[in-house]
Amino acid sequence: MKPTKLALLVLMFAFFGAVVAQPASQAQPSAKPKNSPTETAPMLLPGTAQIEAALKRTFGYDPSLSWQILDVHPSIAPGVAEVVVSFNKQPPYRLWITPDGQNAAVVADIFPFGSDPFAPAREKLQSAKGPSRGAQNPAIYIVDFSDLECPHCKAAQPIVEKLVTDFPQVRLIFQQFPLPASLHPWAMKAALYADCAGRMDPAAFWKYVDAIFENQGGIALATADDKLKELAIAAGLDGQKIAACAATPETGERVKKSLELGESLGINETPTVFINGRRVKGIPNIPYDQLKMMVQFEIDHAGK
C-alpha cells in the first residue's frame, strides 16, 4: 500500500538526521534565496548526495515509494536550506533543514506579513507578460501560473475564468509554469505550443488551453506534437505554424522567463494564482463564495 500524505508528513518531521552541511571544499554554490528580497551572507547547502542518502535511510524500507529531488536552495529563513522533493511523482513538498543539518520540517505554507504584505509579489508580477483577458484598465490583476498537464490546473481553470466573468474590474494573466518532465513529461511541449498560440491569436489561445485541459488523458509524450497540432487546428489556429513556432529558441526563452518569474515568487506547485499579489493555492478546494470574498477584498484594497 502506498503511503498516505499524512504518513509522509509524520515521517518527514523526523527526517534528515543523516544530512550534514558539506565542507567548504565540497559545498554546493549558494544561490540567492528565491523568496528573499535581499541576499544574506553565503551559506553552505546540503548536497543532493547527502539528501539522497538520508531519503534512502528514512524511506528505503518501502519499495513502493520513489522520490525526486527537484531543487535545493536557501529558504527565506536565515541559514535554513529548503529542499523541494516529489514523492511518487506527486506535487512536491518543501523541507526546511536547520543550519546544523540535523533536523528538518515540512513547510506547508509561508505567508507574507505586514501592512502591505503583497507589495513585493505585485512588483515582481509586473513582468508577467502571458496572454490576458478581462478589464482593459483593471482594478487588480489575477495571475495564474499553470501547467497544461496538471489535473489540478484543469480543475482550476473554469473557476478562475468564472471569477474574471463575475468581476469585470479584474484582468487575468496566464503564465506558463510546466513542472519538470519527470513529473509531467509533455507539459513543457504544451507550454511552448500554447505560448505560440497566445502570440499568434490571443482570442484563440483560451479556446486552445481549454482544449488541451479537456484532452489531457489522450496526450502522451510520444504523440504530443501530433495531438497539440490537432487541437490547435480545432481551435482555429494553423497547426504547422504553431509547431514551427514552438521549436524556436525564442519560444523556449519566453517559457523559461515565465518559469523564472514563478521561481522568483517561490512557486513549486501548480496551479498557483496571485490575486492582487496575494498567493492562493489549491483553488479547486476553496469554496467559490470564499474566493469571491477574497477577490472583492483585494479590489477594495487595490494596490495595498
Please give the grid coordinates belonging to residue 235.
481551435
CATH, range 119-300: 3.40.30.10
| DSSP3 helix / strand / coil % (the chain, rounded to 5) | 40, 15, 40
pLDDT at 7: 47
* pLDDT per residue as tens digits for the range 259-279: 999 999 989 889 999 999 999
- Contact predicate 266/135, CB 8 Å: no
Question: What does pLDDT average to over the chain?
Answer: 85
Which three-class secondary structure state does DSSP give residue 253?
A: helix
Please give the grid coordinates belonging to residue 168.
469585470
* Confidence class for position 42, pLDDT limits 50, 70, 90: low
* Confidence class for position 214, pLDDT limits 50, 70, 90: very high
Return the residue matching grid coordinates 521561481.
Answer: 263
Adjacent-strand bridge partners of 68: 86
270 CB-side CA count, 13 A: 26
Task: Determine if residue 134 is left, alpha or beta; phi over 0 gives left, psi from -120 to 50 gives alpha, anything else beta.
Answer: left
pLDDT at 93: 82
* pLDDT per residue as tens digits for the range 185-210: 999 999 999 999 999 999 999 999 99
Sequence ranges of the domains in the chain: 5-106, 119-300
- Contact predicate 214/293, CB 8 Å: no
